[in-house]
Amino acid sequence: MKKRILGKDLEVSAIGLGCMGMSFGYGPAGEKSEMIKVIRAAVEQGVTFFDTAEVYGPYTNEELVGEALAPFKGEAVIATKFGFNFVDGKMAGVNSRPENIRKVAEESMKRLKIEVIDLFYQHRVDPNVPIEEVAGTVKDLIQEGKVKHFGLSEAGATTIRKAHAIQPITALQSEYSLWTRQHENEIIPTIEELGIGFVPFSPLGKGFLAGKIDENTTFAEGDIRNILPRYTQEARVSNKALLGVIERFAQEKEATNAQIAIAWVLAQKPWIVPIPGTTKLHRLTENNAAVNVTFTASELAELTAASEEVKVMGTRYTDAMEKSTGL
């Protein structure tokens, strides 16, 4: 597995593993022993970057990741996140007050079985707490030796600049893929200017870009895709046009759709580290092999242009989700 640098000096595998779906967001949680096998197989395949959050479960995903990676202390970089309230075990709005950030840090370390958090993201911007105060709190945690690196998730350019001025940001995590490109306008130029790494989640469009989902696919109860505009039956039919573009390049490269989609993300900048998620060993192996798929400049331009000609039907989230928390 190749390596990449986030921010100034956080070295991680070029492809990480998003662990959310093992416990949360895509229907029933995976069987614990099987999920541990997948995480440990990722380590064996050279993955050193693992993504979780207190909200995934809540709490159960951090516990899973902590148990799975316990034998690999010092070998794995674990990213987790703060920024929500919970009522009766369910997410109940954002909360990035300093006292909550500190509380989450302590509790996350216990669940993850670690003494310091490698990368601590604000999961979603809290409009009620100045970002300077959030950054200052994480700066204090870094000085206290409880956190190594600061990150933001789904933050805007102005927020990024304000936070970075207080405590340098190592990575921004946001959605980015062949069909989610809005960050190219302002966000990516901003973080490039500031020397911040980019960690795209859902580089496979929550699975659609891998080409295994069609209009007849049904999702389990509790799977977020049941309510996403891009996953209505009509949208899935229309969005097959993008799959056609990806499939053409997959055939030319003797690769899979998933590998082409991930390789496209990797090819955008050398400081981008996508974190595709999976619960299956064979998909893990397939996704990680994307690191060996390369494009010439003309091939990359052709793929990008062809994908841009396809009008994607449906927004990535509902309006309510975009206004509140997203995932």
Q: Which residue has the tokens 């789904």?
A: 154
- Residue 93 domain boundaries: 3-206+268-293
CATH of the domain at 200: 3.20.20.100
pLDDT at 320: 87
- Write the CB contacts of 128 (distance below 8 Å, at least 6 apart in sequence): 94
Say how many C-beta atoms besides its own lie within 10 A of residue 187's C-beta.
20
What pLDDT sits at residue 322? Answer: 83
Helix (H) or strand (E) holding 84: strand 84-87
Is residue 162 assigned to a domain? yes
- Following DSSP, what letter does each residue of 244-258 receive, concatenated? HHHHHHHHHHT--HH
d(CA 327, CA 318): 11
The closest alpha carbon to 123, from 272, 315, 265, 326, belongs to: 326
Residue carrying structure tokens 């006292």: 99
- Burial class from Cβ neighbours inside 10 Å (0-12, 13-18, 19+) for residue 130 reads middle
- pLDDT per residue as tens digits for the range 59-98: 999 999 999 999 999 999 999 999 999 999 889 999 999 9
* pLDDT at site 61: 98
19 is a domain residue:
yes
The sheet with strand 17-18 has its strands ordered as 17-18, 49-51, 77-82, 117-122, 147-153, 169-175, 197-201
Catalytic residue among 56, 121, 176, 231: 56
According to DSSP, residue 211 is labeled T
In a domain, 113, yes or no: yes
Structural domain count, the chain: 1
- Cis peptide leading into 58, omega within 30 of 0? yes
Does residue 110 belong to any structural domain of this protein? yes
26 part of the active site: no
Give the model's pLDDT for residue 107.
Answer: 98
Q: What is the distance of C-alpha 312 from the center of its chain?
A: 21
Please give the pLDDT value at position 324: 65
pLDDT of residue 326: 44
Residue 126 included in any domain: yes
Tell me, yes or no, whether 229 lies in a domain: no
Q: What pTM did the predictor assign? A: 0.97
Residue type, 253: K
The average confidence (pLDDT) of the chain is 97
- Eight-state DSSP code of residue 172: E
Listed residue (207, 196, 210, 202) closest to 175, CA to CA: 202
Tell me if 283 is assigned to some domain. Answer: yes
pLDDT, position 205: 97
Asked whether residue 112 is assigned to any structural domain, the reply reads: yes
Predicted pLDDT of residue 327: 46
The stretches in the chain having pLDDT less than 70 are 324-327
- pLDDT tens for 118-166 read 999 999 999 999 999 999 999 999 999 999 999 999 999 999 999 999 9
Secondary structure element (H or E) that encloses residue 122, with its range: strand 117-122
